[in-house]
């Protein structure tokens, strides 16, 4: 399958096709020249698409990096074999770096406040990775090419005055992910059944949300309520949040399936 047909087969929208073509060009150019090359920050769904594209298209499988282990938004990179990926990503040549935005403890600022102010600087979303808010600060993963500009320009978030400076990736303070652990039984491991259990919805409502294209299974759009899920799978529903199937424990005496779900808060 040629490049264009492959990209079209993977794309759900014109935006997908443009993104995949751009990443293909970046990664293939890096491979031809045997020099580092990388994309902007990708969502988890976009990472899955890029990985499928590389595997089906014969590209070397890219390395993904978002500034810290477990990052949601990550770049896809071609890393030549004269580098170890971690050595490259944490070096001064890395395309990824970090900023710390500090503010007065008297101010209350949210993730949305920081993202809005960053986008207000006239930059593209793909230049910004994860935002990690904390007490009196928000650490931001960014493309290195944007770091100095943002450090100079980002002086206010909402009505609050802020100080923005470069920090090392090792200094990032990653908030602990809070989860609600749910132990339940389901009639089957169908997507609609597990979604209904995890988000406390009726099964018919969960099925309607899935059929309407509002759900993702392992970061890809899922349209079939009867799709089967497995231990470790991640389910997201627009407007409700995200959960992971932590354990499938087997059948109960009544023939239902015992599951443990982790809902991200």
Q: For residue range 151-194, list pLDDT tens digits in order.
A: 999 999 999 999 999 999 999 999 999 999 999 999 999 999 99
Mean pLDDT of the chain: 96
Q: Residue 209: pLDDT band by 50, 70, 90 thresholds?
A: very high
Range 234-247 average pLDDT? 97
- Class of 179-264 in CATH: alpha beta
Q: CATH 3.40.50.970: does it fit domain 3-89?
A: no
Percent of the chain with pLDDT over 90: 97
Fold of 96-171: Alpha-Beta Plaits (3.30.70)
Interatomic CA distance for residues 77 and 143, integer angstroms = 13
- Locate the domains of the chain by residue range: 3-89, 96-171, 179-264
pLDDT of 106 = 82
Question: Given a cut of 80, is residue 1 above it in pLDDT?
Answer: no
Taking a C-beta distance cutoff of 8 angstroms, is the pair 147, 166 a contact? yes
Question: Given a cut of 80, is residue 86 above it in pLDDT?
Answer: yes
pLDDT of 105 = 78
Taking a C-beta distance cutoff of 8 angstroms, is the pair 123, 146 a contact? yes
pTM passes above 0.85: yes
Q: Residue 253: pLDDT band by 50, 70, 90 thresholds?
A: very high
Interatomic CA distance for residues 122 and 157, integer angstroms = 14
pLDDT of 107 = 83
């Amino acid at each position: 399958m040629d490049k264009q047909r492959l990209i079209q087969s993977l794309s759900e929208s014109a935006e997908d096709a443009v993104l995949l073509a751009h990443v293909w060009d970046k990664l293939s150019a890096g491979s031809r020249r045997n020099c580092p090359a990388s994309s902007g920050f990708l969502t988890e769904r976009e990472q899955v698409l890029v990985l499928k594209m590389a595997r089906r298209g014969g590209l070397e499988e890219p390395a993904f990096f978002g500034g810290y282990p477990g990052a949601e938004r990550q770049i896809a990179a071609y890393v030549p074999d004269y580098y170890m990926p971690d050595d490259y990503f944490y070096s001064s040549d890395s395309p990824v770096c970090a900023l710390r935005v500090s503010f007065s403890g008297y101010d209350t600022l949210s993730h949305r406040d920081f993202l809005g102010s960053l986008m207000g600087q006239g930059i593209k979303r793909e230049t910004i990775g994860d935002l990690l808010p904390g007490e009196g600060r928000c650490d931001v993963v960014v493309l290195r090419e944007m770091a100095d500009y943002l450090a100079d320009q980002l002086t206010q978030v909402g009505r609050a005055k802020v100080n923005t400076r470069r920090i090392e990736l090792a200094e990032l303070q990653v908030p602990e992910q809070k989860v609600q652990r749910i132990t339940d039984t389901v009639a089957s491991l169908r997507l609609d059944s597990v979604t209904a259990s995890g988000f406390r919805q009726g099964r018919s409502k969960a099925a309607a949300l899935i059929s309407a294209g509002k759900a993702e299974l392992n970061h890809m759009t899922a349209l079939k309520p009867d799709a089967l899920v497995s231990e470790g799978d991640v389910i997201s529903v627009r407007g409700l949040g995200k959960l992971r199937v932590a354990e499938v424990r087997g059948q109960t005496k009544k023939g239902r399936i015992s599951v443990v779900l982790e809902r991200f808060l």
